[in-house]
Amino acid sequence: MEKKKVLFISQEIFPFLPKSEISSTSRRLPQVVQEAGKEIRVFTPRFGAINERRHQLHEVIRLSGLNISIDDQDHPLIIKVASVSSARMQVYFIDNDDYFKRKTTVQDDKGHYFVDNDERAMFFCHGVLETVKKLGWQPDVIHCHGWLTGIMALYIKHVFNKDPHFKDTKVVYSFYNDSFDAPWNERFFEKLKHDNMPTEIVEKLKDTSFLNITKVIAENCDGVNIAVENLNPDLRSIFDQVECLKQEYVSEEQQGKELSAFFDKVIEASILA
């Protein structure tokens, strides 16, 4: 039987960035899911805070060179890769000087969230999908970690749904306690129009607060899971209300087995639907 394919996308992965709930889970989970019998790929942004020399990143020329249009402006896509040798795992990095060259991740050095995080999320998700197509690798499930990755669900469900490469791809979103405290750019919904996002989805995103964006993302997922022991009550409320397959928090020791089985349920549910 052909192995199921799981694409992990995360806004941060250890050891390329410091340890956090997201970066540690995003380092550990692909390995244990791979060991549980799935085929995996892993993508993350190439933030300027990542030391390319120390982690031996190198550009993949055959995958780079594409331009991605965001808000009707073209931005070159650069793909880099590095290995996590202890896990027999490669990590692909989405890079672009306009969005990812700055020396921090999603906040500046004073703790203010970047005003173009909406565009950075759009570019990252687009870049992942275009690169996966070039690799000729069709994911059964895309598992999203961190709010920068969540709009992948909207692209898969409403923009790339007619692309044969992704017509059967499902999206799972992990709930963490990370958030942003300033709304995204008020023109976010207009930028999505340039991506041919349907009007009914665009209208829901005129409110660019963290909780509303999370709610819309969750409503468009095929599965959601809780990745932390004590989830914020507001996020817990969204999790409880959304109508899709759900998985409660699973201890680190059981994550490989339980999440691999959860991915199977998401895939099987789509076949039976």
Contacts of 272 (CB under 8 A, 6+ apart): none
- How many other C-beta atoms lie within 10 A of the C-beta of residue 110? 6
With beta carbons less than 8 A apart as the criterion, state whether 28 and 252 touch. Answer: yes
Stated length of the chain = 273
Closest by Cα among 116, 88, 106, 90 to 45: 106
Q: How far apart are CA 166 and CA 178, in angstroms?
A: 28
Q: How far apart are CA 135 and CA 222, in angstroms?
A: 24
Q: How far apart are CA 199 and CA 183, in angstroms?
A: 21
Tokens of 36: 């549980």
Domain covering 5-272 in this structure, CATH number: 3.40.50.2000
The share of the chain scoring above pLDDT 70, in percent, equals 98
Token pair 């989805």 is found at 201
pLDDT under 50 in the chain at which residues?
Answer: 273
Tokens of 120: 């950075």
The residue type found at 216 is V
